[in-house]
Amino acid sequence: MMIPMMKVRRAEWVPIVNVLFVLGVVAVCMWMNTSIGSVNAAITTQRTGLVRKYYKIHETCPAAEQYVRHEVEIFYKNDSTITPKLLRLLYSDCFVTGCDASILLDGTESEKTASQNVGLGGFIVIDKIKEVLEARCPGVVSCADILNLATRDAVHLAGGPSYPLLLGRRDGFGSSAATVDLPSPSISWQTSLAYFKSKGLDVLDMTTLLGAHTMGRTHCHYILDRLYNYKGSGKADPSMDKTFLAEMKKKCPPKTGKGQHDPLVFLNPDSQYSFSDSYYSRVLNNLSVLEVDQQLKYGNDTEAITEDYNVSLLDFKLTFTLSMNRMGSIGVLTGKNGEIRRHCRYTNANNPNGK
C-alpha cells in the first residue's frame, strides 16, 4: 500500500499522519484477515510482482517463513546486536542496486568492500538460514527474501512490529563497489530527502526509516566533525546539547594519527539494542549522535512527523511497517529475472561447490 505524499504546512501534518494511521490499520487488518487475492489487490499499487505468503501460495516451501523465524530466534537469544546489523545490511542492499541480495556476494571489489560498508555484519545469520532452507527446500527461497524476512523477525524480537512482508524476490548476478552511492551521515535533511526520493521514497519514509537508528552503534569517525570541526569552523556543532557534547567528546577523542583506535558509540544510548520511540525524543532535545538524525528537527514536515512519533509509538510502528515494505520493494527482480542462489555469497555460476 502506497500513501502519496503532498505538500503541507507543519500545522496540517499531524492530522494527515492520523489519516495515514487509519489507512494503515485498515491495510494491516486486510493483510491479517482477508483472502490472499484480496490482500494482493489491496497493494497492487506497488506493481512489483511481490505477494504475501509467496512460497505457500506456490507450494514450493510452505514453511519458509517459520524456518527463517526459528533461526533468527536462535541467533537473537545469543546476540541481540543482530537486529541493527540486519537493518543496516538490508538498507545497504536495497539502496544501491535494489533489493537483489547483491550486498551478500563475496568478491575483491564487491559492494561489501566499499568504504561506506565498512563494519557491516549479519552475514553469518543469512548464511545459516540459507543452509537450513537449502536442506529443506533446495533452490527455492531467494537470498533477497531471506534478508528481508530475517530483518523483519529480528526487528520484532527487539520490540518492533512483526509486519506482513511481500515476497517473491530473486537474486542478482553481480555486485560492484563502484555502484555504492550511500551518503555520509553528515548531511542536511534536504540532501537526505533528495537521496530517498531518488530511490522512490518520500519524506514520511525517510523520517520513519531513520528511526531504525533507535538501536545499534556507530564509529566515532562518523561524528568527529560534529564534535570538533563542524562545517570547517574548528568548533562543535552548535545544535548539540552541551552536556551531551561533553559526554561524546569523552567517548570520541579527536583523531590525531593513523591507526588510532576508532571507538563505537550507541546511536541511541536510551535504548541501545531495543526498538523504541526514544530516538525521536532525542532528536527534539538535540541529543542525536548523527547529524542526519538531528537534521530531522529542521524541516517543517520532518519535525512534525518526529513530534508525532515522539508521542505515539504506535504511529511509528505502523508507519515503519509500510515504509519497510516500500524500501523492500526497491528495484526487485521477479519472474524470470535474476536467479535463486544456492549460496548467498556466490552466484550459481561462481559457486565453488557447484550449482
Known binding site: residues? 93, 96, 98, 100, 102, 111, 183, 213-214
Q: And the C-alpha cell for 140?
A: 527455492
CA proximity to 342, closest of 112, 195, 190, 142: 142
Distance CA 22, CA 319 (A): 11
- The one catalytic residue among 88, 170, 326, 345: 88
Q: Which 8-state DSSP code applies to residue 235?
A: S
Render the burial of 170-202: b for 16+ CB within 10 Å, e for the rest.
Answer: bbbbebbbeebeeeebbbebeebbebbeebebb
Distance CA 237, CA 110 (A): 35
Q: And the C-alpha cell for 64?
A: 519458509
**φ and ψ at 140, to 5 degrees?**
-120, -50
| Residues tagged in the binding site annotation for substrate | 183
Residue 58 makes CB contacts below 8 A (sequence gap 6+) with none
Query: Would you call 88 a catalytic residue per the annotation?
Result: yes
Distance CA 211, CA 320 (A): 8
| Residues tagged in the binding site annotation for Ca(2+) | 93, 96, 98, 100, 102, 111, 214
CA proximity to 51, closest of 290, 349, 347, 329: 329
134, 337 in Cβ contact below 8 A?
no
C-alpha 49 chain-centroid distance: 21
Exposed / middle / buried, residue 232 (Cβ in 10 Å: 0-12, 13-18, 19+):
exposed
In angstroms, the first-to-last Cα distance of the chain is 37
Q: What is the DSSP string of 259-320?
A: T----EEES-TTTTTS--SHHHHHHHTT--SSHHHHGGGSSHHHHHHHHHHHH-HHHHHHHH
- Catalytic residue positions, numbered: 88
